[in-house]
Amino acid sequence: MSDRPVRPEANAADGALARRLIGDAATAALAVVDAGGHPYAAMTAPAQATDGAILILASDLAAHGQALARDGRFSLLFQEAADPARPLAAARLTVRGVAGPAEASDRAAFLARRPEAVRFIDFGDMRLYRLSLRAAHLVAGFGRAVELPPDMLRPPVDAPG
């Protein structure tokens, strides 16, 4: 018998919390791999495509933009507002995967969530990335941590009718 605790299985409430953390995020912490192979963290303002994919805008002039263009691996941390007296009690979600070019329809979705970006999205150094999610880890407050399959992060499809 192992001494390691067994993680609980993700459930529908975990998926709903993860989707809320993504959808409500004003900002998220983006970690990338720099040219020397080291982690580099930056702040970003994510948005969601209509299919639930996460979108970020980055400049080729910024360290994180250069890292994404060279090595698309990323980690993105979303966190709900924390009580300053108990910051680790806040729910948080880390997603990991590979960034690639956005699709044509992603521009409108990004600007719908981030209308201020209309001033600079078309600058020559700006790139809109679509994040292909490979893994997700949700900490739903103290004592609850689960791995979520990426499909649990997609918004539910409404039933016809």
pLDDT per residue as tens, the chain (161 positions): 556 555 678 889 999 999 999 999 999 999 999 999 999 999 999 999 988 889 999 999 999 999 999 999 999 999 998 888 888 888 999 999 999 999 999 999 999 999 999 999 999 999 999 999 999 999 997 778 999 999 999 887 763 44
Longest pairwise C-alpha distance within the chain: 59
Q: What local confidence, expressed as pLDDT, does residue 160 receive? A: 44
List Cβ neighbours of 25 (8 Å cut-off, separation of 6 or more): 46, 78
Residues in the chain: 161
Q: Candidates 1.10.3660.10, 3.40.50.2300, 2.30.110.10, 3.60.20.10; correct CATH number of 14-150?
A: 2.30.110.10
3-state secondary structure of 93: strand
Residue 31, token pair as written in the block: 């970690």
Q: What local confidence, expressed as pLDDT, does residue 6 receive? A: 57
Residue 152, token pair as written in the block: 């649990």
Whole-angstrom CA distances from 142 to 49, 71, 90, 92 are 31, 34, 8, 11
User: For residue 107, what is the enclosing H or E element?
Assistant: helix 106-113
Q: Rounded distance, CA 15 to CA 98, Å?
A: 21
User: For residue 31, what is the enclosing H or E element?
Assistant: strand 28-33
Q: Which residues pair with 47 in a beta bridge?
A: 55
Q: What local confidence, expressed as pLDDT, does residue 159 receive? A: 39
Q: State pLDDT tens for residues 35-71.
A: 999 999 999 999 999 888 899 999 999 999 999 999 9
CB 113 within 8 A of CB 24: no
Q: What local confidence, expressed as pLDDT, does residue 4 receive? A: 58
